[in-house]
Amino acid sequence: MLSGIISIIANAIYMFVLNLQIYTDRAMMYNGQYREWKRSPVGRLHVADKDWLYVVQIILSAVSVLSGILVLIGVKKDIVRRVQIISLIAATLMFVIIMIVSANIHAEYA
């Protein structure tokens, strides 16, 4: 039961952090001036055409949350608990990968 609650809370935190505007992009424009943008990790993935990473994160989080809800409801099947734990681990790894990839994206504008 505790793992179901942890799964739901962790995935909510992952989605919240992925949509926070924590990065500042600066680029020189064609007229010589600099421009700044505040972007979230999801925004940076979109700039780099790596939206598929966020889609995988959403799928893994959905599986984790749904199996967590099933565990909270009281489904006693061992396979549901295994799916919930594996999907939570996979969602956590994907969150870390997205944060690393989005930190290394530097948009250039001309």
Report DSSP letters for 40-80, one per residue: -HHHHHHHTT-HHHHHHHHHHHHHHHHHHHHHHHT---HHH
- C-beta of residue 75 within 8 angstroms of C-beta of residue 92: no
In the structure, what pLDDT confidence band is assigned to residue 8 with cuts at 50, 70 and 90?
very high
The reported pLDDT for the residue numbered 110 is 45
In the structure, what pLDDT confidence band is assigned to residue 2 with cuts at 50, 70 and 90?
confident
The reported pLDDT for the residue numbered 95 is 96
Q: What gap in Å lies between CA 57 and CA 63, rounded to an integer?
A: 10
Which residue type sits at 41?
P
Q: Per-residue pLDDT for 108 more than 80?
A: no
Q: What gap in Å lies between CA 13 and CA 53, rounded to an integer?
A: 17
Phi-psi region of 49 (alpha: psi -120 to 50; beta: other; left: phi over 0): left
Summarised one tens digit per residue, pLDDT across range 96-105 is 999 999 999 8
